[in-house]
Chain A
């Protein structure tokens, strides 16, 4: 899928050594000196953050640390007050940075509860906003259902779970809902999928499912920013952990070097010395 996606860019940057699957860029997204003020409040302070093209980055921090502000700036929901943002190593014009542009740039955010229409069947949920239609706007239902089934079985592996494309979201468990939203993002070739606390309020078994979906993101060659409160969950799947505190990046750790317990201690320590 990825080979065809950015043929133009690949041609220009084909000597770039990075990445397993064509396309030629090192970082799917990079922020340089990004600041964000809300009036007098300094919400983001001098953020420098680069996400590799096939990297799972865990973003952790307390409530109010600036995680969601960071994501909103990154996805174009709100503009930064200062600084530069690069998508696939190219600077983007912040004046025209909108959610639609984030879609075009293949960045997709999976929100906790706001991603799926509860009463609607899965096949509609996969395609809503991006329907396959004829030129009068009528949906090609059969084609959408066929592709939806393929996503269900092959992209997210719901085989035998008793769910069909005609099931409504309401019939799914919390973990399965995250899976549907992640599967949708993967189908639409998002190169960067942002997960906003996907395991909050989930039972242990459901958390396992979500972590498996995150591994599938990695396996498919995409990047992921995983916002999480629970250290144990991110620790398990992330390649790198970025700690945000009061609008500042205070640590950038590889979880391989620390156990969850060490990590917890390290973070508590960090809090106390600031």
Chain B
């Protein structure tokens, strides 16, 4: 408690700084192991066109995890909203109405999640596990297991305005490959940064993550804010679903697979607390970059794709343990005690001086 007068160091003052440093280190490593890929601009334009769905999902999850909750149903939204959009766009030729339909389906999933969690009181882990099965099953039933190829979609204004490129579409120069979805994603992320850090809703989310009891005592409408929270998550997942479907020019039923762990990992690597109450959007975005870069970098460095999940999982675990020790002094102390307790029966001094401060 004696150090509370000290000015916070740069690690506390600049949001997400530790993770930005880690990102830079990994990037430098890959520039060394795969210079022909990471020193060329194309990898970065590819990042800009393929990372947005992951970033949107992870930023939504930053709110959810910051509120001390979880959402496991967003891969199903990627499938379900992607299907609703694809079928309206291709079979019914509805254009922008198909986009509205896709959004509405995401809102629907989110509101249902919110009602189950806030009104009925089902723990979010269980509720969204259930809705994950329900909505992905629904997508399979309605689509009959078919995929939808959106051939010729690049001629539509929907495609051009959501996932098109800024440059000449026929050019392969990297300047012409910068994608529109990167700009949309950046705008949404900046807006949501302000919502989390400067808006009443964001503050309520953080207090919810701190303690639902406290939130209630200080006059936060806990139920309403949770429903809003899941509606936001559903909406972002729907936007991600449509970007993904348009970018691939194809809808397929399991297109959400693989996002569940990567999105959650990106949020937690970024420094949002697994216990809620503290959330960082800057951290999440760099967490996404790291997750994405591991995938590209390992393959480019000559390892097989099989290594990708292993390394992502490892970094995920290291990050969680790291943050646990940084932000939960109580746990750190308990861990130190456990080590010391063992030290008494075994060889002495193993961990005695490792953790000098009590708090």
Contact = CB atoms under 8 A, between A and B. Distances in A.
B338 interface: no
B261 interface: no
B278 A111 contact: no
Given A137-B200, A139-B203, A114 B219 contact: no
- Tell me what chain B mostly uses at the interface: helix, strand, loop, or mixed: helix
A129 B198 contact: no
B49 interface: no
A171 to B, nearest CB: 5
Interface string B267-290: 000000100011000000000000
Given A137-B201, A138-B198, A128 B207 contact: yes
Interface of B: 1, 4-5, 8, 194, 198-201, 203-204, 206-207, 209-211, 213-215, 217-220, 273, 277-278
Contact of A139 (B198, B215, B219, B278): B198
B217 A114 contact: yes
A131 interface: yes
A147 interface: no
B200 A111 contact: no
A141 B217 contact: no
Interface centre among B4, B209, B277 (most CB of A within 10 A): B4
A84 to B, nearest CB: 26
Interface string A218-236: 0000000000000000000
30 contacts: A109-B217, A111-B217, A114-B213, A114-B214, A114-B217, A115-B214, A117-B207, A117-B210, A117-B277, A118-B211, A118-B277, A119-B273, A119-B277, A120-B210, A120-B277, A124-B206, A128-B207, A128-B219, A129-B219, A129-B220, A131-B203, A133-B199, A137-B199, A139-B198, A139-B199, A139-B203, A162-B4, A162-B5, A167-B4, A171-B1
Interface string A110-126: 01001111111000100
Given A100-B219, A116-B214, A124-B207, 12 more contacts: A114-B211, A114-B213, A117-B210, A118-B214, A118-B277, A119-B206, A119-B277, A120-B203, A137-B200, A139-B199, A166-B8, A167-B4
Contacts of B211: 114, 117-118
B229 to A, nearest CB: 15
Contacts of A264: none
A11 B194 CA distance: 45
A205 B281 CA distance: 40
A112 to B, nearest CB: 11
Interface string A17-29: 0000000000000
A130 interface: yes
A128 B277 contact: no
Interface of A: 99-100, 103, 109, 111, 114-120, 124, 128-131, 133, 136-139, 141, 162-163, 166-167, 171, 173
A157 to B, nearest CB: 17
B210 A118 contact: yes
A120 B207 contact: yes
A173 B1 contact: yes
A238 B203 CA distance: 37
Contact of B203 (A100, A128, A167): A128
A114 B218 CA distance: 9
A140 B343 CA distance: 52
Nearest to B202: A139
A108 to B, nearest CB: 10
A163 B220 contact: no
Nearest to B195: A138
- A-B CB proximity, top 9 nearest: A129-B219, A162-B5, A119-B277, A117-B210, A129-B218, A137-B200, A117-B207, A171-B4, A114-B217
A117 B211 CA distance: 7
Contact of B194 (A109, A114, A130, A138): A138
Contacts of B278: 119
A131 B211 CA distance: 18
Interface centre among A116, A119, A167, A173 (most CB of B within 10 A): A119
A217 B182 CA distance: 55
A131 B204 CA distance: 10
Contact of A128 (B1, B213, B220): B220
A124 B203 contact: yes
